[in-house]
Amino acid sequence: MTRSAAIDCGTNSIRLLIADITAPADGGPLQVSDVVREMRIVRLGQGVDATGRFADEALERTFAACEEYAELIRAHEPEHVRFVATSASRDAANRAAFFAGVRARLAVEAEVITGIEEAQLSFTGATVGAQAAADPAPTGPFLVMDLGGGSTELVTGAVGPAGAELTGAHSMDIGCVRLTERHLSSDPPTDAETAATISDIDAAYEAARTDVDVSSVRTVIGVAGTITTVTAAMLGLETYEPEAIHAARLAPDQLQATCHDLLHMPRAERAALPFMHPGRVDVIGSGALIFARLIDRITSDAQQPPAIYASETDILDGIAIGLSQRAAT
């Protein structure tokens, strides 16, 4: 058993997973047991699409979360720690201030990973978690969609005896924060704003098709906060329940209707939803539109309509599993 700590710092949220990773003696799939799983919405990517820089207040929010996470890491004593930064940190001109702040608080270096590595880690975390939780287990080939604040990753592949076997990956510069700030200023969005957002989504998907072939995909697994929040809405939850959301199978028609409702709902109505995190209220409409549009395009390109699942396991689990695998070699 290896205890690992994984930190994922994205455009909208920063998350921590401390987990015990066990490799069964019979060579079966790795077992991931949560010790701590935390999330703070810090909106690190606030304004980055427009200014190319981190806002001072966004850095302050992020560093405050890092201080909380440092206390948890000291308390639970993982053997390995990795801090991964994604879309917003690839774009910001003042990244040095971000790196220095993380180093001072956590005594680790923030690694700005590529969109492709982000996709690979998400694929591992999502497929391991969904196959362990869903009954019956979903079958490949898989497409994992990681819908973040600044970017959305698509990665295809299968899961074999040696683990993930990837066949394609692409990172698109579309995310719920980025497209909200770019297009959706009205409450609720106008038809013109929605059309402009769809145009960006379609252009990004067309570029992704050069790297990702979805024609043979049998299962789509969606990860990250937008998709799990849409799932909570579909399930009619009275509070955010990870156990109910994880490995839930999503009916395509209901998915499209739910995403439509979230996009066109006034902000005050979204804020009143019992499962809605306050930090997602202003960006869930954009995220829902991205999710619905991509599912529509992927389903049209697939030879047969794929099964669609939501997963609470994602890049965090992939990072923790990767740390365990490194330690074993």
Task: Give the pLDDT confidence of 165-187 residue by residue, as tens digits.
Answer: 889 999 899 999 999 999 999 99
SS3 category, 55: coil
**Residue 303 DSSP label:** S
Structure tokens, 66: 């890092």
The pLDDT of residue 163 is: 67
How many Å separate Cα 317 from the centre of its chain? 11
The pLDDT of residue 132 is: 76
Q: Kindly report the CA angle at 40 between 37 and 44, in degrees rounded to 5?
A: 130
The pLDDT of residue 23 is: 74
CB 116 within 8 A of CB 168: no
Domain limits, the chain: 2-116+316-327, 130-310
The pLDDT of residue 2 is: 87
Structure tokens, 166: 């990837």
Q: How far is CA 38 from CA 19, 72, 75, 199, in A?
A: 12, 10, 14, 35
Interval 20-47: pLDDT, tens: 988 766 666 667 889 999 999 999 988 8
pLDDT band at 254 (very low <50, low <70, confident <90, very high): very high
Interval 41-59: pLDDT, tens: 999 988 888 899 999 999 9
The pLDDT of residue 160 is: 72
From the CB of residue 209, how many other CB atoms can be counted at a distance below 10 Å? 15
pLDDT band at 322 (very low <50, low <70, confident <90, very high): confident
**Lowest-confidence pick of 57-71, 81-95, 146-160, 293-307:** 81-95
The pLDDT of residue 249 is: 95
pLDDT more than 70, % of the chain: 95
Q: Judge if 2-116+316-327 and 130-310 fold alike in CATH terms.
A: yes
pLDDT band at 328 (very low <50, low <70, confident <90, very high): low
pLDDT band at 231 (very low <50, low <70, confident <90, very high): very high
CATH class of 130-310: alpha beta
Predicted model pTM: 0.84
Pick the CATH number of 2-116+316-327 from 3.30.420.40, 1.10.1060.10, 3.40.50.2020, 3.40.50.150: 3.30.420.40
CB 98 within 8 A of CB 92: yes
Q: If you average pLDDT over residues 281-307, what whole number do you get?
A: 97
- Pick 1 or 328 by higher pLDDT: 1
- Pick 30 or 60 by higher pLDDT: 60
pLDDT above 90 (res 129): no
The pLDDT of residue 48 is: 85
